[in-house]
């Protein structure tokens, strides 16, 4: 489904769920559309792709036709290979102040919680919130927790946290309402680097407990 978002963007909705196969299609379509000169940039999310274009060179009906054509050409061969990244995490203590309270709430031991959080491979469904923040999913359903009712005013960069069916890593010091389980020393965002971001949408991520 295609709908205008203002006069210089168009939103493509491929489904209405947080689902791995659907999200893979989102990333494939996003990458495929990026190759078109009429496309300024794309923003893949869970089940949508937002496409920015220049209305001075491309009208709404032109971009709509172009996208419809690209969607019809999209097949399994256009899926790009995913990168797999291993992220060391120091769980608990000062690095993960919410590990013990979350374990208590979920009726798990801290070590079970660490195992359940680190045993899965996650996918970067989308990025947003702050530069370089990966929304990773989907968590083992035993780890589903609502957000904190009062967000922290400062969550340190590198904090590995969970909320809902998602886990993520804070790239820069920022406010945040997710439960902090641990910390990674890796830098997720460096604006002056040739490669400013550790992650890209569609990457596969595995946490490696350091303790």
Partner 1 sequence: MLELLEITGIATLQDSGRRGFNKFGVPTSGAMDWYAYQAANSLLNNPANSAVIELGLGEITFHSLRNTVLAVTGAGYEVENYIWTFPLWTSFYVRAGWTVRVKKTSGGNWAYIAIAGGFDSPVIMNSRSAYLRGGIGSALKTGDVLQSFPPASDLLKLAARDHTPLIPYSQTPTIDVIPARQADWFMLEGIRTFYESEYTLSPSFDRMGYRLQGMPIQKAITQELISEGMTMGSIQIPTDGQPIVMMADAPTTGGYPKIASVSRASLPLLAQCEAGVSRIRFKETTVEEAQSTYSVIARRVLSPTKQSQD
Q: How many Cα atoms are found within 13 Å in the side-chain-facing hemisphere of 149?
A: 0
The set of residues, in sequence order, having a beta carbon less than 8 Å from that of 191 and lying 6+ positions away, is 131
152-184 burial, b for 16+ CB within 10 Å, e for fewer?
beebebbbbbbbbebbbbbbbebebebbbbbbb
As measured in angstroms, the least distance from the Cβ of 20 to partner 1 is 14
Which residue in the block uniquely carries the two structure tokens 């399994």? 76
Which is closer to partner 1, CB of 54 or CB of 119? 54
* Minimum CB distance to partner 1 smaller for 107 or for 192: 192
Shortest reach from residue 46's CB to partner 1, in Å: 5
Residues in contact with partner 1 by CB under 8 A are 3-9, 11, 13, 16-18, 30, 40-50, 52, 55-56, 59-61, 126-133, 135, 172, 189, 191-192, 196-197, 199-201
Of the two residues 97 and 131, which places its CB atom closer to partner 1 in the complex? Answer: 131
Measured from the CB atom, the residue of 94 and 192 that comes closer to partner 1 is 192
């Amino acid at each position: 489904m295609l709908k205008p978002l203002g006069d210089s963007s168009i939103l493509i909705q491929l489904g209405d769920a947080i689902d791995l196969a659907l999200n893979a299609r989102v990333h494939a379509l996003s990458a495929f559309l990026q190759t078109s000169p009429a496309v300024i940039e794309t923003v893949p999310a869970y089940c949508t792709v937002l496409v920015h274009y220049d209305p001075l060179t491309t009208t709404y009906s032109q971009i709509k036709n172009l996208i419809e054509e690209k969607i019809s050409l999209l097949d399994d061969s256009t899926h790009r290979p995913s990168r797999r990244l291993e992220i060391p995490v120091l769980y608990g203590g000062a690095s993960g102040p919410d590990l013990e309270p979350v374990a208590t709430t979920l009726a798990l031991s801290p070590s079970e919680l660490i195992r359940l959080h680190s045993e899965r491979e996650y996918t970067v469904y989308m990025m947003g919130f702050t530069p370089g923040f990966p929304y990773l999913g989907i968590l083992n359903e035993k780890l589903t927790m609502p957000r904190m009712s009062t967000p922290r005013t400062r969550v340190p960069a590198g904090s590995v946290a969970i909320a809902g069916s998602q886990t993520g890593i804070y790239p820069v010091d920022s406010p945040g309402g997710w439960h902090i389980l641990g910390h990674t020393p890796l830098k997720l965002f460096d604006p002056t680097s040739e490669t400013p971001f550790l992650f890209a949408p569609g990457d596969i991520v595995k946490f490696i407990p350091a303790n």
